[in-house]
Structures are given as C-alpha cells and as structure tokens.
C-alpha cells in the first residue's frame, strides 16, 4: 500500500460520517443527546462567539470537513475563478519603540464570503499575531493539520533578524501560511481566522484565555493506557513521515554544504578577476585578452552569486517548511492515537463489566464517533498535504534546474566572448610576423 495515496477506512460506527455531529467541536451540549439523533439546526454558528477584542461575531464556521459537503465544493487545484478568499502578506515595516523593535506586515484580504462584513480588508500584523492565530487554530480544530509557521528565531545562516533578506524570507513564509489556511475548506471558516484578517486590533490576552472545550477534550486521555496498534493506514503515514524526515535532513545538510562551498568559491573568484585586470596594465600586447579574462571571471562571479542566493532564499526555506510540516502532522497523529486510546479504555471497561445486558453507555458511542471524525479529517488533510507537496517540490526542483542551466549558460557566454579577442590577437601577431 502506498503511503502517498491512503486507502479509505470503513466506518466502524452505525452511522455514516456525514451523519455524525462533529464530536470535538465546542458543542458538548449537542453530544448529551442520543448519538442516533442529530439536530441539523445545531451548529457552531449558534454559539455566542466574540472576536479576541471582544466584538461579537456571527459566523457559521464548520467543525469538520463533513459538514461542508453540501455547502462548499473545493478542490486542491482551485483556479482563481472558484476561490472566494484571497489573502496576501506584503509591505514589511520596522517599528522602533522604547521597549522593543519589531517588524509588522500588511495582510490584505479580498473575499465574497458572507461571514465578512466587507469585501476587502487591510490590517497590519506582527509575527506574534500569526503565532496567536496558529495556536487558536490548533485549539479549536485539533483534528486538522495546521500549516506551520516559519521558525520564530533566526534561521540558519541568517544573523540579523531585521536584515532585508531575513524579513523577505519570513514574509514569504507567512504569506504561504495564510494562503494554505485560506485554501483549507474548514480552517478558512474558523472565527479566529476571520478575526485575524478583519479586526483592526487583536486583543490576544482575552482570546488566549478562552480555551475551547474542543482543545481540552483532546488533551484529556486516560493516563497510563498504551494504544494497542494504529490502524494500518495511519501506521503507514507515520512510517512515511519518518523516512521523509530523513531524506529532507540529508538534502538540507548537503545543500548547506554546497552553499558554504559556493560562497567560499565566490570569495576566491572576486579576488581572482582583479589580478588579470592589474596584470593587463603591464602587458601592452596582452592587455585586451587579460581584460577579457577579468570580465569573464566577474560575470561568472555574478552568476554564481545569483545561484547561491536562489538556493538560500528559495530552496532551503521549502525544505525547512516541510520539516516543520512533518512535525505538525506527527502531532495530529499523536492526538488521533490519544482519542483512540481513550475509546479503547472505555470499551474495555464495558466488555469486562458484570452486567452484559445493559446497553453500551452513551459516552463510549460518543468516543467512537470522535475517533471516526478524527480519522476522516486526518485522511482528508493528508491527501491535501500530499497534493500540495507534489506541487511544491515539482515547482522547486524545476526552478532549481532552470537556475543551474541559466548559471552555466551565463558562464559559457562569458568565456565565449573571450574567443574573438584571442583570435584577433593571434591574427595581429601573424600579420606582424
């Protein structure tokens, strides 16, 4: 079985996944009813929600992908005509105060969704705001894979976190983070995401204090219980992630070494070219060819510098993003295992009870439903992640090939330009003889 295209698991419950009210949502009151009866009017939108700054909001954020089947048709390869939410991160600005220095980014949103009061928004956010959003997404949507943020501290090879290179690398990563959330059929309807995009002021202290029941329910697991075994499909996911981690780690180490060697070679080239230029001033007969060599070396230096920058700014960040993505996926798998362990614990307690005629307790059925929903959400996110990964690495590797071809073409063109100079000098020498 291929880990990249996991096989669908049959439902172990008595109901189809579309008929199950999402068990990990904050609607604990809905779960108190019989599991065979689902009130379609019960939804997350009926709660008295408020933005982090205390402003009430009216939203119908779906709790799982199954609740969107009749409401939204999305595909991983959406074109611009079918999307209804566009988000961009740009215009980084440095802010200096007596207490701290930090960078903010402009977040622009265009949408036709009714959950938003306006069709366009423009707000400024700093890194800790993005971090707040991701934490809230993890708390409120624990069954889903949350895209990773770039590392909070200085990345490898970058010393100054206020340098243009570092800020631009982080801006690209933050832009990709928001685009991945905006393209997700569940996360994009989250009320915290709505607040992040539209609220002028994020009162994060208030928001962080309001831990959802959904997040707390996943953190609770019967202590000391060891999961019997992951289902084959999810075990294959874990094995794939382990191998993928090793491959990315090897590529990252080699790429770092290549960049280091190219940077050292670039220093030598920059010292190498001027030597020929200086030499030409003492050799009248060889002046033009020597200047030509100096120009060739200079052109090759410029081409190598561009190639090295491309690897540092475009290639390595993608590798690091997917390393963080793997950690996020492993965390979701671990949460799934915890929910399954809780279900197995409660089921065993029922199996070994003395009274065999008593119906299965409702909490066991609820827990089973939670496992089913977790499995469905995780499989959907896994397929979406695999599609994104194929597209990202196809684009990455194709771009890397093009950049290397351009580098060698520039070097070849530089040295070919030297041939006429040498031929002219040879002909002039023949005429003199």
Q: For the chain, which residues score pLDDT lower than 70? A: 1-82, 153-159, 203-227, 353-360, 424-433
Amino acid 21: pLDDT: 43
At residue 221, φ and ψ (nearest 5 deg) are: -140, 145
The string over 370-390, giving b where at least 16 C-beta atoms fall within 10 Å of a residue's C-beta and e elsewhere, is: bbbbbbbbbbbbbebbbebee
Tokens of 286: 């060889």
Q: What is the pLDDT of residue 429?
A: 57
Residue 343, judged by CB atoms within 10 A of its CB (0-12, 13-18, 19+), counts as buried
Of residues 430, 389, 353, 420, the one with CA closest to residue 3? 389
Identify the pLDDT of residue 90: 93
pTM score, whole prediction: 0.71
Residue 362 is predicted with a pLDDT of 79
């Amino acid at each position: 079985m291929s880990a990249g295209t996991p096989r669908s698991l049959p439902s172990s419950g008595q109901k189809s996944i579309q008929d199950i009210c999402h068990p990990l949502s904050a609607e604990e009151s809905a779960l108190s009813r019989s599991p065979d009866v689902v009130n379609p009017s019960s939804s997350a939108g009926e709660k008295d929600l408020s933005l982090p700054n205390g402003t009430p909001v009216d939203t119908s954020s779906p709790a799982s992908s199954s609740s969107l089947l009749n409401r939204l048709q999305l595909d991983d390869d959406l074109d611009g005509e079918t999307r209804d939410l566009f988000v961009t991160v740009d215009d980084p600005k440095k802010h200096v105060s007596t207490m701290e220095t930090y960078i903010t980014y402009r977040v622009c949103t265009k949408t036709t969704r009714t959950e938003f009061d306006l069709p366009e928004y423009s707000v400024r956010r700093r890194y800790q705001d993005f971090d707040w959003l991701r934490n809230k997404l993890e708390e409120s949507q624990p069954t889903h894979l949350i895209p990773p943020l770039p590392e909070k501290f200085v990345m490898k090879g970058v010393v100054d976190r206020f340098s243009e290179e570092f800020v631009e690398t982080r801006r690209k990563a933050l832009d990709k983070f928001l685009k991945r959330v905006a393209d997700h059929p569940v996360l994009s309807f989250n009320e915290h995401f709505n607040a992040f995009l539209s609220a002028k002021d994020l009162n994060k202290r208030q928001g962080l204090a309001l831990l959802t029941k959904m997040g707390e329910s996943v953190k609770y697991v019967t202590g000391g219980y060891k999961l019997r075994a992951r289902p084959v499909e999810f075990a294959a996911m874990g094995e794939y992630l382990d191998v993928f981690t090793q491959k990315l780690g090897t590529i990252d180490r080699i790429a770092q070494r290549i960049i280091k060697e190219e940077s050292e070679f670039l220093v030598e080239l920059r010292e190498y070219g001027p030597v020929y230029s200086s030499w030409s001033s003492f050799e009248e007969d060889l002046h033009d060819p020597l200047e030509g060599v100096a120009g060739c070396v200079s052109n090759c230096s410029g081409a190598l510098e561009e190639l090295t920058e491309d690897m540092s700014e475009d290639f390595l960040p993608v590798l690091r993003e997917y390393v963080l993505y793997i950690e996020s996926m492993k965390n979701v798998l671990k949460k799934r295992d915890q929910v399954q362990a809780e279900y197995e614990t409660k089921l065993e307690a029922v199996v070994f009870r003395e009274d065999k005629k008593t119906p299965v307790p409702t909490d066991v059925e609820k827990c089973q439903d939670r496992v089913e929903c977790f499995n469905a959400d995780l499989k959907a996110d896994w397929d979406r992640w695999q599609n994104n990964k194929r597209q990202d690495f196809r684009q990455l590797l194709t771009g890397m090939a093009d950049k290397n071809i351009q580098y060698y073409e520039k070097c070849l063109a530089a040295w070919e330009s030297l041939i006429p100079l040498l031929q002219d000098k040879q002909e002039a020498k023949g005429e003199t003889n």
